Structure 1
């Protein structure tokens, strides 16, 4: 009897997976002809899937970066999967361990085995992969099933998870796993820009307390630096450093580098999506949590918002971090107000 139940369950999984795959083929067939899917540099590699963690802090451009990295169709996106474990600080070692394990499971597409997480994902506590949502117009039951999402995730070449609440020092063991090709994209932003952005949103209740503290922000950056050193020491090919400012100013160059690294094709269709996101083509660019913007015009806007006294206070708390990540430390008010003097310098990290 037990064997019969196992066989029936296995048969159901196989049939259901075939149904999902067939539906994906129908969706692909119904879509417009892909006349823009020609290569513009980069290369498509027939290689095992990659589990990629975009690791950063709040208000560092990670939503913007995540959308750019998943402009290719062979990607699957999970938005902040470990948030619930580490929502309040300080986090216990048990919570950190649970968060790391969940991150491992998400990168391996284990949604069926994680019904509690999947329910939160489905209820929009976490961002949906847009391809999963597109199935809802065909069958609500199909798009609500964790096996559907798991099958789509397994079909993707790059499984990207955006993580802001887990520091790189704690997440470092994920990038030593041997059963999956995992990779860390360590996204940083100038602490002065981060705190300027958070300060603007604090008026609406989004940030308060330590979230507005330069010391707290840069303590987290120091943990990330230690984690980066650990990953580079054990598996340097699994770590990539990325400044938000470089991505905003030289979007195509940086994306080609990242796409090539991840084995993604930088096609004309991808280039069109990137242009829409970065050149201010959307109707409303004012939303603080939006992902479309005129990236070059906004990247250093904090220089017109913060006084030199405010900047100096941040610099005093973060001088080592600024130097490690390649951000200029302004020595005087005159230097700070000289717009010809750039913010970016070679990084030491």
Structure 2
């Protein structure tokens, strides 16, 4: 079956599933029947017993590193179910203890398996929180609050998706090891990194949300340093399911790098996806001045930090992060003159 045929198959599957769900819900509107609907759904489509090539994907990065932009590009595929930063939304902060990390991993596992009914506490926060999750869910919430608030609705949408994508900014890469080894999951990890100098400039622009500690690149680079070791382990143990991606490469060569991701995840790169890429990268749609927005001229803005950070600020970051930056392929500027020369490229290697 060609890619267009696959896309139509999954679209029809989603429509049939939602049609069955809404028809039964409107006819009866009874809580016990909702569980029966879920049971019928599972029996008819076999979505829990048969994997149908479903992939669970975690987009792992740090705050202000381009993950919202990346997530929206992957969400352009109609067969993607998207969850945005559930760990911080559920725990209220980044995990700092082993118990909190274990709780975060358990939550990610349930989300990857579409078990929203088992997480009523998280599901309530998912609906009422500030993060933007799966767009189909958002549309349902506008149309019917009752349907939206029932977790079985999201389970249906999630189970019908080919890729279940979750964005995570609050965990080390090593914390995902149990999920990567879980026999019930086919987990792919997209490890997104950004030049720490760009991250600093972005956080400085949002001082209202990032205190002085968050603007100290020591913690950012310490985590990158830990993740470097884990990345080597994952590349050796699961070379087909660990994907390294620099935000800069995605911004400069969006179609090329996104096509690589879509192929790895077996997602169809359709005309609809191409149109979404254009909207997000050419600055023709949306509010391009919104710091949290994902619509901008990505190739023109990716190195804007060179105009906003002084050479003294850049030097401090480089002193703290030099080993990490070189490992990820970022240039260390050695003089003010070199830093101001637009002909001196930031990227040392092409990882795309």
Q: Partner of 1:97 in structure 2? A: 102
Cα–Cα, structure 1 residues 157 and 130, in superposed 2: closer, same or farther, change >3 Å?
same
| SS of 1:77 mapped into structure 2 | strand
* Distance across 2 between alignment mates of 1:324 and 1:11: 55
CA contact (8 A) 1:85 1:98 kept: no
Indicate the SS of the match to 2:58.
strand
Say yes or no: does 1:220 pair with 2:223.
yes
- Counterpart in the other structure of 1:55: 60
2:37 matched to 1:15? yes
Equivalent-residue separation in structure 1 for 2:104 and 2:114 (angstroms)? 15
Structure 1 segment 164-183 matched on structure 2, within 5 A: 164-183=169-188
Give the superposition deviation at 1:11. Answer: 6.1
SS at match of 2:192: strand
Displacement of 1:229 after TM fit?
2.1
**Is residue 344 of structure 2 the alignment partner of residue 338 of structure 1?**
no
Question: In 1, distance between residues paired with 2:142 and 2:39?
Answer: 19
Paired residue secondary structure (2:189): strand
2:242 pairs with 1:254: no
Bigger Cα displacement from structure 2, 176-185 vs 151-160: 176-185
Q: C-alpha displacement at 1:210, in angstroms?
A: 2.1
Deviating 4+ runs (over 4 angstroms): 8-12, 16-20, 84-90
Pair 1:12–1:169, CA change in 2 (3 A): closer
Rounded Cα–Cα distance in structure 2 between residues aligned with 1:232 and 1:10: 46
Q: Distance in 2 between matches of 1:303 and 1:264?
A: 35
Deviation of residue 90 (structure 1)? 6.8
RMSD value, Cα: 2.4
> Comparing 70-79 with 122-131, which one deviates more in the overlay?
122-131
Structure 1 residues 347 and 138 mapped into 2: Cα distance closer, same or farther (>3 Å)? closer
Partner residue of 1:194 out of 193, 199, 202? 199
Aligned-partner SS, 1:328: coil
Checking the alignment, whether the CA contact within 8 Å between 1:185 and 1:240 is kept in structure 2 is yes
Partner of 1:302: 305
Residues 58-95 of structure 1 deviation map (CA, whole Å, 9 limit, x = unaligned): 00010011000110000000010111466546701100
The 1:137–1:312 alpha-carbon spacing in structure 2 relative to 1, beyond 3 Å, is closer
Matched with 1:157 is 162
Residue of structure 1 in register with 2:5 after alignment = none
For the residue of structure 2 that corresponds to 1:236, the secondary structure is: coil
Q: CA deviation at 1:278?
A: 0.9
Gaps of 5+ in 1: 1-7, 23-45
CA offset at residue 15 of structure 1?
Answer: 2.9
**Contact 1:86 1:165 (8 Å CA) reproduced:** no
Counterpart for residue 134 of structure 1: 139
SS at match of 1:211: coil
Q: For 1:263-282, list aligned pairs within 5 A.
A: 263-282=266-285
Which whole-Å CA distance do the structure 2 matches of 1:319 and 1:87 have between them? Answer: 32
Q: How far does residue 295 in structure 1 lie from its aligned partner after superposition? A: 0.4
How far is 1:17 from its partner?
Answer: 6.7
TM-score by length of 1: 0.85
Indicate how the Cα distance of structure 1 residues 85 and 11 shifts in structure 2: closer, same or farther if over 3 A, else same: closer
SS of the counterpart of 1:212? coil
Q: Please state whether the residue corresponding to 2:140 is helix, strand or coil.
A: helix
Q: Distance in 1 between matches of 2:95 and 2:161?
A: 35
Query: What are the ranges of 5 or more consecutive residues in structure 2 without an aligned counterpart?
Result: 1-29, 45-50
Partners of 2:95 and 2:104 within 8 A in 1 = no
- CA positional deviation for 1:47: 4.5
Residues 293-332 of structure 1 correspond to what in structure 2 (within 5 A)? 293-332=296-335
